[in-house]
Amino acid sequence: MERGNPTGRANTGTGKALFLVWVCLMVAACAGEVVPPPLPTYPGKVFTDEGKAFYVWNIRFPGTRQELRVKIGGTQTWVPLSVIHGVRFLGPEKDLYRESEIYTISGEKFRGLVYVGGLLEGTTDVGYWNMPFNKVEMLQMVDQ
What residue spans define the domains of the chain?
A: 44-140
Highest mean pLDDT among 17-21, 26-30, 38-42, 94-98: 94-98
Q: Round to whole Å and give the CA distance between 72 and 15.
A: 76
On the question of pLDDT at 87 being above 80, the answer is yes
Q: Are 144 and 41 in contact (CB under 8 A)?
A: yes
pLDDT digits (tens, 9 = 90+) for 13-22: 667 778 888 8
pLDDT digits (tens, 9 = 90+) for 105-130: 989 999 999 999 989 999 998 899 99
Which helix (H) or strand (E) covers residue 122, if one does? strand 119-124
User: Rounded to two decimals, what is the model's pTM?
Assistant: 0.67
Percent of the chain scoring above 90 in pLDDT: 43
Q: Please tell me whether residue 34 adopts helix, strand or coil conformation.
A: coil
